[in-house]
Each structure stands twice: as C-alpha cells, then as structure tokens.
A and B are shown apart, each in its own frame.
Chain A
C-alpha cells in the first residue's frame, strides 16, 4: 500500500464521478422505455445494499487492502486466487469502459481516426495520473467534479430554456407493470453502474476517517443514482422513447437538440467533455484497483511501476475484446453480467462476509 490519505469528501467525489462515468452516456435501462429512470433508482437502492456488504468487509479489516484480507478470510491459496481473479476482473472492466469510450469518440467525432490512437491517448493520461498515486487522482477528481457539475447545470438550463422537455414522453408510467422494471434492475442497473463500485474496496483503506465511509459512500451512490435517473428522464423526455432507445448515446442526441438564441447550439463539446472526464475517472479507478490489488498481492513496493504494464494490457484488451460495437454491447449486457458481475459483485463478497462474520464471532466469543 502506498502512503496516502483520502478524506471523506474525496471518496464522495470519486464514487460520484465513477458512477456517472460512462453510465451517463449510454442508454441505461432503456429496455423498460419511459420507466428507465425508475429502474435506475431501484438499481441504485440495490447498489447501496451491495455496497453495504463491501463496507462490512471493510469494517472487519479497516486498514488492509482486499487482496490481503481475502487471504486472511479464505486462506492463503484460495484468497490469492480470488485476489488474482479480481485483478483480472478490474482490468477487464477497465478495458471495457475504454472500449465504450473509444467507440463513442470514433463514432461521433473522429470517424477517420483509428480507435487505437484514441484509446492510447486517453490511456496515456490515465497512466500518468495513476502513476502519481491515488491522492492525485482524488484531487484531480475534486476539480473535475466541479467542472462536470458546472457543465451539467449549464446543460440542464439550456435544455430547459430551449423548451425541449416534453414530460408527456415519460407517460404512461409502468405501462407494462412493475415486473419488467424489476427484471431490468436485476439484470442490468444493479450491476452497471452501481455494483461496479466494488472497485472502491481497494480505495477504502486509505480513508483518514473510516467512520464516515458509510455515510459518504451511500450518499454519493444516492446522488449519482438521482443524477443518472434525471439524465435518463431528460433524455427520454427530449428525444422520446423511440429515438432514445435507438440512440447509441442518447445524451449526445439530447445535447445536439439544444438550440438557444441561434447561437448556443451544436454543443457537442459539452458531451465530449463529459465523456472524457467520465471515462477518465472510471478507467482511472478501475486501473488503480487493478494496480493496487496486484501490488499488494505480489508484494510490489512501488505500485506505480505496475501502472505501465497493466495500462498497456488494458489498452490492448480494449481493442481485442470485440470486433464491432454491437458485439461489444451484446457481450456487456449478456455474458459479462451473468458470468462476471453477478459472481464478483454479489456472490463472492457475500461469501467473504459470511466467513468473516463466522471467524470474527469465534474470536470475540
């Protein structure tokens, strides 16, 4: 573990940026059409529950990174294997987000540029950041947080002012009943983006005030859930269900619809800023999770040395995981959810908590 201390506010900001990261750009939970916002809010509630599991584990071992406490809970061999799996999981997720990001940028702004370049440039910035340590990422996050909220508020005002919002697009509520919403919650929104906060288990040990972790993280999840729900509701109310569900990036289409005073239009750069900042933070946290996990697992004294190789792996994997965007999305929605998110975000943490609970009860008893 590097020597670093994070304040509760920094954790709050990082969780928020991480959650908003790529989720705000993609059509989240669009399968339930105008009820997407509801699915997001319910997913957020579930995500908070998941995060409480991770927090309980953290409170059992407040100063130890997960890669070590897994070994303490499960024994050396299994714990090591699990930690390794988590490192691979985070690396894979980092490259998935990077792929999302690259696809977006190539699609809407740089059609002639190879995705490798686009991804490599972003990875360069991220690797540079992570090699400076978690504190720097957190501080940069604090500034970017202000920036992205200024952006969001401006965008929101512009959307309202240009009279694009048609609340009627959100009606009727629960057209097909609640069951499809629940289904979407448990197959999509619970894991992406809320369950993904499991990456923060590697960052929690740095908190200077562990007591505040619960309140901070949960309130951050809440705020991000509300923001995402609001963003999706705005997307649908501006674009309509059909267009929103056909859009690869509904937020882009929403922003492109803004026309105020014949001058404030074509604000794609807003979207691009949000996109890059979001991608930066999300991949940054994943990469950090992978790097710090690997560092504590293999006992590397200077974690920053691992950033370059793992960053390179993320970059290459991001290009290799799928041959086209449709395949990439399909993988993300079907394969990854069942084979990866569910076990890594729900089953293993629950199992760990259970065993940790038994062990600690024995100790106290």
Chain B
C-alpha cells in the first residue's frame, strides 16, 4: 500500500517536473500585440506592423519600478516577409519578447493591398492560428499605409487599437455609417456565394509623422487623429469601391445593423429642419421568385424620437407627426435605394440578397449562384418598404421658435 503510494507520488512528481515549462509563458516574457497592420512593399512582399503594448505606460503611474506613464503606451515595429507567419517570426529579431497575438483585437489592411491583391490570401493565418482570435476587428486603412494607422497615438484611449474598436462600436451604435466587422464575419461573407463583405475604412487625418509623436497628445486638438470613414465594398476579396455618408448608411440599414442614428428631414422649405433620432430599427430582407426571376423585398421598421426641430412645427398634433413620418419614410427609402443601386453598379452583392434567395428557393439558387454577382444581382428588382414611427418628442412639445414673435 505504502509502496504503491510512493510510486504514484514519484510518478506525479516526475510528470510534473518533466512537463515543466513547455507551454508556459510568463506574462512578463510576452509582448502583447494590440493591433496588426499589413501593407505591401514595392516588391510585393508583406510588411507587417505590430503595435505592441507597453503595459507599464498604460496601467497608470503608481506601479513601482515601472517608470510609469512617461513613454508611449504602445511601441510599433515593422518587418517584411513572404507570408504572415514569416513576418511574425522575423519580427522576433527586433524585440526581446515572445509576440503574443491573443489580444490582437484589430487587423488593419492597407487600401493598396486590399485593392491589388485582395484579402483572400491573408486571412488564413488568422483563421488557423489558435492563438489568434477570430473576433478580432478588421479595418481598411483608407488613403494611408496601415503602418501609419498602427503608429498613430490616440487621445483618451491610451491604446490605439482600443480606440479603433471603441470608435467603431460607438459610431455603429450612434451614427450607423460604419459597421463593426470581425474576421469571422468577413470570412463568412467571402466564402458565401450570395454575399460580399463590407469593411469599415479608417483614415488618419493629419500628418503621419505628427501622429506618432507623444507631443501630438499633449495639445487639446491633436494635429493628427484617427477617424472612421466609409465602408469598403469588396468583390471576390478585392476592394472595389468606397461608400460614404448616407450611401454607407443605406448599406447598414439593409444589413439590419442600425441601432440608432439621426435622420434629417426638410420641413416647409427649411432644409434639414427636423432631426429624427432612430432608437429601434428592424430590417427584414426576403426573396421571392417570380417567373424564374428573384425579387427582393426589404422591409424597414424604424421607431424614434424627435431630437431637434429648428422650424416652427406643432409637435402636439398627431397629424403633423404623421406627416413627419411620411417624409421620414421617403428619406430612408431613398438612402436604401441609393445604396442598392450603387451596389448593383459595382456588381457586388454586399447585402446578402443571394443568401436570402438561397434560403427561399434553394433549387433555383443552384443555377444562379455561379454568376449571381455579375448576372442576376445587378438586374435584381428590389422593393423597399419603410415604416417610420415618431414615438416621443423629447421634453418639449412645440419648439420655442414657434413662439418667437408672438
């Protein structure tokens, strides 16, 4: 009995000691990567830019021995390679610690790369690696190199990658011209025959050289600032167009991603006189077959409040509200139709209409799926139906301007 236990104990100690440190990685031996940027250099090789967090510069200045809050929150370095694995491994020549990708939440792809080579060939590395998260956000560096995006320091959020994510989330929730797409979503769209991906663009306003200076942050209005801008439309994995402003929002309407936004309408010749805040929105897309041709119907149902009224308007009158709703419907419908037409012109089904057809008419879909984007989608008849409801008008009923001069 005792001997058995001693043998067991020795075995356990043995296994413990042997296995010792294989997969072990101390936190202090890791370089936490916050963002990963990908560019193409002149020879067509990949340039990977790693935004590495300096923990002690992020987590406040009370840390003993950390120096505290003096330097930049992140350090950035770039390396080149023929594929991303090589880039990542080669980067170890420049940094003392093991690169750790589990916290890389942002992937920045340069516009040039997205246009020229497409994103099909680069996502596998992220998908396959167990360390990398499929929930990482994907953005396109619009008009700049992705390295510049990674290098830019940001205000308020110390870690630039966090700033990008939060900005994307907030603007998706509040404004609705951009969407928050992670690698998994993009890959799903890339693989699907009936859907093409859209990816939000991010651009650097200002001088890239200014953006990486700490001094840039010490002024009240930084010279260079990161900003989301537009939706990149992809076809066959390549960036083909940018949708901006209301057209981009039209896309977001159809994708049922609007959480709240602001729609302006004209009132009695006064332009953009009334601001309508959407608080709830639901879009459903369905496909029907008519004479062998698919036909889409989009149904949008928006609820919201009046956020601002710059013209004298009697908001206590339900009839007036009905009128406002009518104008709103037109406005939203217009945005959506514009987006659909633009997409049809680009021959890229970014709305997932094909998938809707697949679901409702699987047999016909088999015939159409191969040249859906080029043949069927551009000619698709899309029926848009919008319902908009004004639920409340805020703290006041009539605007004060209606009482001026009375």
- Are A117 and B135 in contact, with the CB atoms below 8 A? no
Q: Does A365 contact B (CB under 8 A)?
A: no
**CB contact under 8 A between A108 and B15, given known A113-B22, A243-B184:** no
**Chain A CB within 8 A of B96 CB:** no
- A19 to B133 alpha-carbon distance, docked (Å): 30
CB–CB A242/B134 < 8 A: no
Interface of B is mostly: helix
Give B366's nearest chain A residue, CB to CB. A175
Could you say which interface size class chain B belongs to?
Answer: 20 to 34
| B187 interface hit (Cβ, 8 Å) | yes
- Say if the beta carbon of B19 comes within 8 Å of chain A: yes
Whether the Cβ atoms of A117 and B192 lie closer than 8 Å is no
Q: Is B320 an interface residue (CB 8 A)?
A: no
Min Cβ gap A324→B in Å is: 15
Contacts of B22 in A (CB 8 A): 110, 112-114, 117
Residue A121 at the chain B interface, CB threshold 8 Å? yes
The CA-CA distance from A333 to B23 in the complex, in Å, is 31
21 residue pairs A–B, Cβ–Cβ below 8 Å: A110-B22, A111-B23, A111-B130, A112-B22, A113-B19, A113-B23, A117-B15, A117-B18, A124-B12, A172-B358, A175-B362, A239-B184, A242-B188, A242-B191, A243-B187, A243-B188, A243-B191, A253-B184, A256-B133, A256-B135, A266-B102
Nearest chain-A residue to B19 (Cβ)? A117
Least distance between B281 CB and chain A CB atoms (Å): 15
Asked if B191 and A109 sit within 8 Å, CB to CB, the answer is no
With A117-B15, A168-B359, A239-B188 given, name 19 new contacts (CB 8 A): A110-B22, A111-B23, A112-B23, A113-B19, A113-B22, A117-B18, A117-B22, A121-B19, A124-B11, A168-B355, A172-B362, A240-B188, A240-B191, A243-B191, A253-B134, A253-B184, A257-B134, A257-B135, A266-B133
Residue numbers in B under 8 Å from A111 (CB-CB): 23, 130
Q: Which chain B residues lie closer than 8 Å to A158 at the CB level?
A: none
Summed over the interface, the residue pairs from A and B with CB atoms below 8 Å come to a total of 56
Contact digits for A254-270, partner B, Cβ 8 Å, 1 yes 0 no: 00110100000110000
Interface status of A171 (Cβ within 8 A of chain B): yes
Considering the chains assembled together, what is the distance between the CA atoms of A120 and B355 in angstroms? Answer: 47
B149-187 residues at the A interface, CB under 8 angstroms: 184, 187
Query: Whole-angstrom distance from the CB of A188 to the nearest CB of chain B?
Result: 23
0/1 string, B14-46, CB within 8 A of A gives 1: 010011001100000000000000000000000
- In the assembled complex, the Cα of A253 lies from the Cα of B188 at a distance in Å of 13
Known: A124-B15, A256-B133, A266-B133. A109 touches B23 (CB 8 A): yes
- A24–chain B nearest beta-carbon distance, Å: 19
Chain A residue contacts of B18, Cβ below 8 A:
117
Cα–Cα, bound, A256→B133 (Å): 8
Question: Which B residues are in CB contact (< 8 Å) with A121?
Answer: 15, 19
Digit string of A168-198 for contact with B (CB within 8 Å is 1, else 0)? 1001100100000000000000000000000
Cβ distance A309 to chain B, nearest Cβ, rounded Å: 14
Question: A219 in the interface, Cβ–Cβ < 8 Å?
Answer: no
